[in-house]
Amino acid sequence: MRSPTRTTPPATATATASAVALWSGALSGVLLVLVTAEWGPLVSFDRAVADGLHDSAVASPALTHTNRVLSDWVWDPWTMRALIVVVVLWLWRRGRRLLAVWTAAVSAFGTALQQLLKAAVGRDRPRFTDPVDSAHYAAFPSGHAMTAAVTCGLVLWLLALLGASRRVRLTTLVVGAVSVIGVGLTRMYLGVHWPSDVVAGWLLGACCVAVAVLTYERTVSRPAPTPR
């Protein structure tokens, strides 16, 4: 099997992944503690933002409909998982079978982690007398935000690892950033998530990808020792 042609040096990839894993993991841990403890300032902030966005959603049916299409179809977790399936099949056909399995495993782990945290924290979603949308399961963390972050993060890493052109990587970065940020905003606008749910989803998604990249770089991609 041929070795991937990378555009990012292994040392740079490892250093970046380490920093992202450290900061995103630490910040998501702090947010988890604050949410579990129902810290007053955070609860008040979440409620103020949710109420303000809900008022706008009720008063703007057309904008609300657009947000529902983006949230439920364009950036839905199943859409993101379908993208991962396409990527995995493409890698498999190119002979990158270990990388294909690795990508699928990271995506599956992200899904399992978010569901585990939802069940463990059991946070209620925002409630309104005149809701514009509804959602299942507990609120924390946002599954839409986390799935988008994991999916887009994996695709960006794979493009760098496989030697994609700068233009392709930059375009993917822009599309990925719009998708990750956009889906989080739609979930808040539709009143099915608190802001802290969305931020936690972003942080946890980034942490999952960073840990996966770090592990891959330190194990699978590490050059074999030269015989003496």
Domain range for residue 169?
Answer: 10-218
The DSSP line for 176-195 is HHHHHHHHHHHHHHTTSS-H
Residue 84 counted as domain residue: yes
In a domain, 124, yes or no: yes
Contacts of 129 (CB under 8 A, 6+ apart): none
Q: Please report, rounded to a whole number, the percentage of residues in the chain having pLDDT higher than 70.
A: 93
Overall domain count for the chain: 1
Segment 100-127 mean pLDDT? 98
> Which tokens belong to 107?
């995506």
The helix/strand/coil state of 219 is coil
Element (H, E) at 68: helix 61-69
Give 169-203 pLDDT, tens digit per residue: 999 999 999 999 999 999 999 999 999 999 999 99
Whether residue 70 lies inside any domain: the answer is yes
Question: Length of the chain, please?
Answer: 228
* pLDDT above 80 for 6: no
Q: How confident is the model at residue 9 (pLDDT cuts 50, 70, 90)?
A: low
Percent of the chain with pLDDT over 90: 87
pLDDT of residue 222: 65
Burial (Cβ within 10 Å: 0-12, 13-18, ≥19) of residue 34: middle
Residue at 147 is within a domain: yes
Q: Give SS3 for 51.
A: helix
User: Residue 227: is its pLDDT beyond 60?
Assistant: no
Token pair, residue 135, equals 């959602």
Q: Whole-prediction pTM value?
A: 0.93
**Model confidence pLDDT, tens digit, residues 16-54:** 999 999 999 999 999 999 999 999 999 999 999 999 999
Which pLDDT belongs to residue 223? 57
**Tens digits of residue pLDDT in 69-104:** 999 999 999 999 999 999 999 999 999 999 999 999
Average pLDDT, integer, range 132-156: 97
Q: Identify whether 1 is part of a domain.
A: no
Q: Give me the chain's average pLDDT, please.
A: 94
CA atoms of 116 and 19, how far apart (whole Å): 25
pLDDT classification of 1: cutoffs 50, 70, 90: very low
Q: Is residue 224 part of a domain?
A: no
Whether residue 227 lies inside any domain: the answer is no
